[in-house]
Amino acid sequence: MHRSFLSSALIASLLVGLATGLFFSGSAHARLAQRLPRPKKASTELRQKISRGRGHERVRVIVQPQHAWNSAIDAALKESGATTARHYRNLNFRVLNLSADAAVALSARSDISFVSLDKEVRTLGHLSSTTGADAVRAASGSTSGPLDGSAIGIAVLDSGIDTNHNVFGGSSGGNRVVVSQDFTGENRTDDPYGHGTHVASIAAGNGVISCGKYEGVAPNASIINLRVLNSEGIGSTSGLLSALDWILSNRAAYNIRVVNMSLGVPAVESYKTDPLCLTVRGLVAAGIVVVAAAGNTGKDGDGNKVYGRIHSPGNEPSALTVGASNTFGTDTRSDDEITTYSSRGPTRSFTEDESGSKTFDNILKPDLVAPGNKVVDAEAVNNHIVTQNPQLDAHVSEVPGRQMMILSGTSMATPAVAGAAALVLQANPSLTPNMVKAILMYTAQPLPGFNTFEQGAGQLNLEGAVRLAGLVRTDLNNETAVGAPLLTSETLPAPETNIAGYTFSWSRGILVGNTYAVGTDLISKYQKIYGSGFLLSDGVITGDGVITGDSTMLTDGLSFGTQIMTSNGVITGDGMPILNVSDLLTYGGLQDGYLLGDGVITGDGVITGDGVITGDLILQAQMAEINGDDTMAMQIDPDLGGECSGN
């Protein structure tokens, strides 16, 4: 029987060809760099304003100096008529108001690294059982207490939180929303829009409504409410940076170990210059797991699959980027699929040199997927989304503070992973963000029929992740030698999990930049890339289609790239190709200028009853995460407002 395969060499050459660049090392790289045009240091969107005759218009930009701010830059800013809109305590950026012409001229200075437009940020929009959270709590010992996120802080950057909702009460009384801050300028931290309350409850809602039917993943975690989206669900990059800056200053006070960002902007400029991506990397280096939504642009207005539409900051390699799966309302995972709207990789953010040549990042994303379709969870009182779309009320209760609503999208999948990260860290607080990310990918369930660009390593599996995390040594650090024992036991955990009567195998691999690594050495031997200050792709080198491991970062017992093209859930590499080259180009997601030409996403965001996406990024009634794309109605039991009696 004839089978069609794409070899690892073809995979590598495809990615390299798409990136319009090659990997070099040593003196050869230096000689090539001298001949290459210098990269442009102003974002594409900013330069397009000038090309369209709008250079005189004042804009808000985020400026990155080459090193430190100095008097020469200050003098140039004064001469250009720039005014400072925002400083940061921990970030080496300034937000300025000046003309587009002056902003681009500023970028030409040798002491300026990059100038970005301050872009608009928007939302991208049975759970405890199907993710494995219930199994984790049932298995946790009575001496250590249940794994419920206790003492772990999850920062939710969203539209605010209705702290009066009952799902945010603590197991011993009090409210688990321990602090609230506003970064929108509206001077309020509640949730008039309605998105943030729903997101926070997926990550950390308790089980008091309908006797635990809608319990969050980490139901006793502390919640840090950082409001970055206003009453219409809109924010700015500079406001989002302010919230991340606040986290860097206050992470110790609230033990913030996880950040959830169910929002994003079009990923146009490369993660290497995007201030949002650079800041996310700083948080990860500081020991914080940053979980970001992939986006809801997995198909166009005609229902065709589209590749290459991962949003920022989900395009940042150090972020844990999450797509959405569809459980069809059942606990068993045998029928789970990827939602049609979940954004696919690879990342298509890019750098551009003076000749106009683009080099695309082409990072494999998302990292994994989690249930995100028709999720029932907390409804903020009188919120905009339900007021405009009353069909989204789940009819669980008529009592304020107990009402629930239904939303779909990668925004819903992201907090499920954020809650999972909190449980993994509770099981082993010594883990670095890179280790948390690797564990979640290694134990994920590959979903049959879906490729790596759609699902990453696979669907979230909390049972396996917590079991593996508990075996990792607690004395590891950046000085630990590559190849040293990673686990406290020489016996590796069984690489399979049973949830709701269905047994599935783990992926046994992790995404590492432009390729995929597999092998038991990933969990039996310490890898340098698991330390702080590294990327999981560090040490993986490509050239002439050959992918190997760098022994200073990775052990030699790993295989790279052989699994990328399998989609049938079999890890042996003998599955059918996930994606033909002709399909990749036919779908259009990787064509130059498609989506990324001017940073405006059309045909994005409005998901109607059958999952068909219409409209554009400026959403009517913000319908990005409303009806989803499954055909099974959720079974909702009414809750009349009384407390659970244990049945």
Q: Position of tokens 């590559």?
A: 482
3-state secondary structure 561-577: CCCCCECCCCCCCCCCE
> Which phi and psi angles does 323 have, rounded to 5°?
-100, 175
| DSSP secondary structure of 477-514 | -TTSPTTSB-BS-SSPPPSEEEETTEEEE---EEEETT
The strand pair at 263-264 and 540-543 is best described as unpaired
* Choice among 411, 507, 537, 567 that is catalytic: 411
Nearest to 611 by CA among 336, 392, 299: 299
For the question of residue 195 being annotated catalytic, the response is: yes
Sign of CA dihedral 524, 528, 533, 534: negative
Q: How far apart are CA 362 and CA 16, in angstroms?
A: 8
Element (H, E) at 455: helix 452-455
Strand 153-158 with 256-261, pairing: parallel
Written in H, E and C, the secondary structure of 593-615 is CCCCCCCCCEEEEEECCCCCEEE
Strands 509-512 and 515-518: antiparallel
Query: How far apart are alpha carbons 534 and 553 in whole angstroms?
Result: 10
Say if CB 106 and CB 76 are below 8 A apart: yes
Radius of gyration of the chain (CA): 23
Contact 410, 313 (CB under 8 A): no
For residue 68, the cross-strand partners are: none
Taking the C-alpha atoms of residue 162 and residue 198, their distance in angstroms, rounded to an integer, is: 9
Rounded CA separation 44/544 (Å): 31
Secondary structure letter of residue 369 according to DSSP? E
* Cβ pair 222, 254 in contact under 8 A: yes
Q: Give dist(CA 644, CA 641) in Å, integer.
A: 9
Of 165, 195, 311, 384, the active-site residue reads 195
C-alpha distances in angstroms, 325 versus 131, 283, 551? 11, 27, 36
Which residues neighbour 590 within 8 Å (Cβ) at sequence distance 6 or greater? 18, 307, 308, 346, 348, 584
Catalytic site residue from 148, 158, 367, 629: 158
Q: Distance between alpha carbon 596 and the CA centroid of its chain, in Å? A: 19
Distance CA 580, CA 599 (A): 27
Identify the CA nearest to 184 among candidates 219, 229, 142, 218: 229
- The tokens of 210 are what? 């309908």
Residues involved in catalysis: 158, 195, 411
